[in-house]
Amino acid sequence: MKSYHTQRVVSTTLRYILLTALALLWIAPIVWIVVVSFSNNQVGFANYLWFNKTNYFTFDNYSYILTNAQFPFITWFVKTLLVSIVSAILSTFITIAMSYALSRLRFKMRKPFLQVFLILNMFPGFMTMIAFYYLLKAMGLTNFVGLTLIYVSGAALAFYIAKGFFDTIPMSIDEAATIDGANKWQIFTRITIPLSRPIIVYTALMAFIAPWIDYIFSAIILGGQGNQNMTVPYGLFNMVSQVQTGNSVVYFAPFVAGCVLVAVPITILFIIMQRFYVNGITAGADKG
């Protein structure tokens, strides 16, 4: 009995040591980024995690990124926010509606349809970016409207987790509502949607984050249209890659400050919606 207790204590201690080490490895880069954003560092990749006499605390990097006319960060931020919000609303509706239909309705070719979409999900989205660019260029939509359409067009491919969530809701609820005279739309809007808050929050968060942090599609669709027509990731990358002196990146510290500002909305969303996010992703993984 004593030996078992000792083994358990040792095992638990080793697990906590491992988890602590992994947590430190994960947190250290974040702390380093925040420190650099508040420092006077202008020489690129500094090797410190604290302030001292030569590396003093300052808000100059944030002031620069928010007021510099050459790199209109606030314009990038507002436009990216609008694209992300519109994409999140439309993508969430498409994903939830499609997932509900595939979970609740039985129709011909349903299983082959699911299999085809599963295969399509295995291919990365950027493989289609050149084709999308030429299609949007032919329609005169190489702008933020076209970029929003790109993000929304891929919403249907993200239905598998939401479908798994709807599969966990008992069919008896739908049957009882049908007996009471409700149609499919009433069941979906008045019964299923209120029961599906976790997966809706999860889907909306994922749909918001995708355009918020995307660089590839924004660079392809909006490339060459001037500093005013950029998303935040594209604009920050363009800023940090413009002027280089040897191995030193001139705009590195303001770039890091911009990265911290970009992370703020997502961090706030995850803190507020964490409970629903975890419930949504775990419930959606119960059943396929």
45 or 270, higher pLDDT: 270
Picking from 263, 255, 253, 244, the residue whose alpha carbon sits closest to that of residue 36 is: 253
Q: pLDDT tens-digit profile of 199-217?
A: 888 888 888 888 888 888 8
Determine which of 65-69, 145-149, 152-156 has the lowest per-residue pLDDT on average.
152-156
State the amino acid at position 67 in one-letter form.
T
Q: Which residues touch 79 (CB under 8 Å, ≥6 apart)?
A: 144, 229, 230, 231
pLDDT category of residue 57 using cuts at 50, 70 and 90: confident
Whether the per-residue pLDDT at 79 is higher than 70: the answer is yes
pLDDT category of residue 153 using cuts at 50, 70 and 90: confident
Cβ neighbour number for residue 246 with a 10 Å cutoff: 7
Provide the residue ranges of all domains of the chain, joining segments of one domain with +: 70-284
What is the model's pLDDT at position 198? 81
pLDDT category of residue 85 using cuts at 50, 70 and 90: very high
Look at the pTM and tell me if it is higher than 0.85.
no
Q: What CATH class is the domain 70-284?
A: mainly alpha
What is the model's pLDDT at position 286? 45
Q: Which residues touch 146 (CB under 8 Å, ≥6 apart)?
A: 136, 139, 221
What is the model's pLDDT at position 285? 43
Q: pLDDT tens-digit profile of 243-260?
A: 554 444 567 788 888 888
Percentage of residues in the chain with pLDDT exceeding 70?
85
Beta bridge partners of 57: 39
Whether the per-residue pLDDT at 51 is higher than 70: the answer is no
155 or 87, higher pLDDT: 87
Q: Say if residues 147 and 217 touch (Cβ distance below 8 Å).
A: yes
Whether the per-residue pLDDT at 279 is higher than 80: the answer is no
What is the model's pLDDT at position 90? 92
Q: List own/partner pairs for 227-234 with CB under 8 A and 24 or more apart.
A: 227/70, 227/71, 227/72, 228/72, 228/75, 229/79, 229/143, 229/144, 230/76, 230/79, 231/76, 231/79, 231/80, 231/83, 231/147, 232/73, 232/76, 232/77, 232/80, 232/258, 232/262, 233/80, 233/262, 234/76
Which tokens go with 257?
């400050």
Q: Give strand ranges (E) for the chain.
A: 244-245, 248-249
Task: State the average pLDDT for the chain.
Answer: 80
Q: Which residues touch 166 (CB under 8 Å, ≥6 apart)?
A: 99, 100, 103, 104, 192, 196, 199
Q: pLDDT tens-digit profile of 218-228?
A: 888 887 787 88
DSSP helix/strand/coil, 39: strand
Beta bridge partners of 245: 248
Picking from 213, 204, 169, the residue whose alpha carbon sits closest to that of residue 276 is: 204
Whether the per-residue pLDDT at 151 is higher than 80: the answer is yes
Whether the per-residue pLDDT at 113 is higher than 90: the answer is no
Q: Distance (Å, rounded) from C-alpha 288 to C-alpha 159?
A: 11
What is the model's pLDDT at position 130? 82
Mean pLDDT of the 56-62 span? 80
State the amino acid at position 240 in one-letter form.
V
